[in-house]
Structure 1
Amino acid sequence: MSDIKRAVSMYSLQDQYARKKMTLSDIFEYLNDLDAGLEFISDQMLKGTPEPSEESLAEWDRLVEQYKPDLVCNDIFINTCLYKNRTLTKKESVDLLIKEIKLAHRLGFKMVRLVSNTPANIIEPALPYAEKYDVVLTLEIHAGMSFDSPLTMEFIEVMKKLNSPYVGLTVDTGIFCRRHPRVSTNYFRDLGTNEEVISYIDHIFASGTDPKQFFAGVRSEGKQFPEELSLFLKTQNDFEYALFADGYEMSPFTILDEYMPYVKHIHGKIYEMTEEGVEYSIPFDELIKYLHKAGYNGYIATEYEGNRFTLPDMPILDKENVTAHQKMLKKYIDEL
């Protein structure tokens, strides 16, 4: 028996909501059908965030009372690039984070996910408010900005220094890719990306590493790509495919060993659920076994990112992928 629980991030259903295919009420009902908790994005689905109107809050309260969802986490963005001509000052960023903490508490969430580039120096000033309002602050460890990213390292240094139960990590499973997402490949192929570039990237993964690690040596020398790959880059699409490829990392699960005491939440990233009912790039069966053995008892929230790679004139299969992923998670968790 495992204490790992399931949720769905509203990133997954952004198209459903934006195109008015699903209302928030529909989404709550859908989550209940899946027996899954809610990872909310208030910026996306609550008008006026971080200071919504009383009318908006009253409607939220009504829906929560009606559907009684498991309120798992609210994803927040300290938008330091709010203005064209400058970044936010430290005081502005702290004040904004405090507003987000208060809103999370008001909505009923006990955790917020901080986007990966959140300044680390605003955490300590905001900590008394996190404690007062009983809201845990977690930084997202995202592929492309994983544990070796300078911003992530700064946050972890502060996190360890504070050693508070109100400061931790949300781990995005995009750091555990074993193959380059096929939907991304097909999307760029449709744009005319050179097959030699595609094969080069696939070979990197097949060799047991990822582009970020593979390119590290030449980048330390001031080059962007190995010379062999550079010869294949003939168009802007070729360049972008190679550039974005290092946003999928192949870290071993053991990279989490020293951080497990701080891991509060997991983003179950999916790019494509296959007909066999597994995620094409990420071995969730192995990951869940690792998390169970490590004593993780939080949520894994489905985060469908294949939506951005939908081919022209094709439907976005967001609900289909989310449902399949939740079914897979339930199977693997039950097997424990």
Structure 2
Amino acid sequence: MTYDIKRGVSLYSFQNDTFLGRMTLEDCIRTCAEMGAYGIEIVGEQTFHGWPEASVADADIAAWHDHMKHYGTTPVCHDFMLDYKRYKGREMPFDEQVASVRKDIDFGARLGVKFIRSLVSVDPSVLVAAAPYAEEKGITILVEVHAPLHFDHPWIMRHAEAYEKSGSKALGFLPDMGVFLDRYPRVWKERFIRNGCPQDAADFIERCYEDRRLSEYVINDVMLKWGPGPQVAMAETLRHNSAFSPKRMLDYMPRIHNIHAKFYEMTEELTEWSIRYDEVFEVLKKGGYKGYICSEYEGNRWVEDVQEVESVEQVRRQQLMFCKLLGEKAPQTLTARAA
């Protein structure tokens, strides 16, 4: 059986490689194409120097489209950042927020994407006000459902209600799979131990996560037994991460148009250590999801203190897992380990 779920990559996954100059934009796009992951998602600030403060030159946009054509890839989504709280030392007024979103809509249209991703902190009224312009440009604005928020959170429900009331089809959701963190990530635990967290404290916090204990209780217990330090920082991660059920996506599926396949560690057995992607894909199939699921590697910051970050290899493994879960034959260029 075939599905309409398509494989893609957020170039955010390669942030270490691009920052250190090991990979150019073309290198990133070619690498994705070689994996058969033809959907390309970007964070504008990472991919195009100077954006959004400075306009992106027509030549750079032309080169982007040349790469898309040459490698057979598809522009999927531009992730924009509306940091309205820190804008020029003041909070950005409503009208300026809307204007800023319109600017990203224009940029998305230049890139040829169908979607632009909004941070979850943006007020729904801002996105609703920008929706008519998005419709004119053929763009859909997707708010990212990102931990610690989830589909039953009042803020996300407020977005959903505002979208329905607006009647606009240019508003939707982009779930980040980090919302479904089933196990405490192994690379997180190991990094906190290297930072000075006692082994027994780390074991205790991990067990508490597995038991789904309330984060504030865990933080209090850690403070009482081990005192302040990196162990408290580790315990505080429980405030921002929970194991919600992927089934909650079903009620929102008509407005879900792109997915961030967040991951921290792909094992050699082609499983993600902390997220049950088999359950995620079963829900997507059941819901009839038609869109891209884009690899988003964020394990880099947890291992870069002790080893070379292998972003390409980690993405390769996740794409192989996607092929398996979709019943798709992996291209030969994907089966060979990254050099």
TM-score by structure 2 length? Answer: 0.90
Equivalent residue, structure 2, for 1:144: 148
Task: Indicate whether 1:54 and 2:58 are aligned.
Answer: yes
The answer to whether the 8 A contact 1:193-1:235 is kept is no
Equivalent residue, structure 2, for 1:41: 43
Match of 2:138 among 114, 118, 134: 134
Equivalent residue, structure 2, for 1:198: 202
Q: C-alpha separation between the residues in 2 aligned to 1:102 and 1:149? A: 31
Point out the more displaced range, 234-243 or 269-278: 234-243
Equivalent residue, structure 1, for 2:324: 331
After superposition, the Cα gap between the structure-2 partners of 1:315 and 1:162, relative to the gap in structure 1 and judged at 3 Å, is same
Shift of 1:151: 3.9
Match of 1:270 among 251, 263, 268: 263
Equivalent residue, structure 2, for 1:164: 168
Shift of 1:183: 0.3
1:158-307, aligned counterparts within 5 Å? 158-207=162-211, 209=212, 214-215=214-215, 225=218, 227-307=220-300
Equivalent residue, structure 2, for 1:9: 10
Shift of 1:178: 1.2
Which letter maps to 2:119? V
Which letter maps to 2:171? V
Q: C-alpha separation between the residues in 2 aligned to 1:72 and 1:323? A: 19
Indicate the SS of the match to 1:161. Answer: helix
Shift of 1:315: 0.4
Indicate the SS of the match to 2:4. Answer: coil
After superposition, the Cα gap between the structure-2 partners of 1:303 and 1:158, relative to the gap in structure 1 and judged at 3 Å, is same
Shift of 1:55: 2.9
Residues 110-152 of structure 1: per-residue CA shift (max 9 Å, x gap): 1011112122221121111110000010010012122354543
Shift of 1:171: 0.5
Shift of 1:168: 0.6
Residues 58-101 of structure 1: per-residue CA shift (max 9 Å, x gap): 32233233223111111111121343631111111110100100
Q: C-alpha separation between the residues in 1 aligned to 2:222 and 2:167? A: 44
Shift of 1:296: 0.9
Q: C-alpha separation between the residues in 2 aligned to 1:4 and 1:203? A: 35
The answer to whether the 8 A contact 1:78-1:96 is kept is yes
Shift of 1:306: 0.3
Q: Identify unmatched segments of 5+ residues in structure 1.
A: 219-223
Equivalent residue, structure 2, for 1:221: none
Q: Identify unmatched segments of 5+ residues in structure 2.
A: 330-339
Which letter maps to 2:46? Q
Shift of 1:308: 1.1
Q: C-alpha separation between the residues in 1 aligned to 2:264 and 2:219? A: 27
TM-score by structure 1 length? Answer: 0.91
Task: Indicate whether 1:27 and 2:20 are aligned.
Answer: no
Q: C-alpha separation between the residues in 1 aligned to 2:22 and 2:45? A: 19
Q: Cα RMSD (Å) of the superposition?
A: 2.0
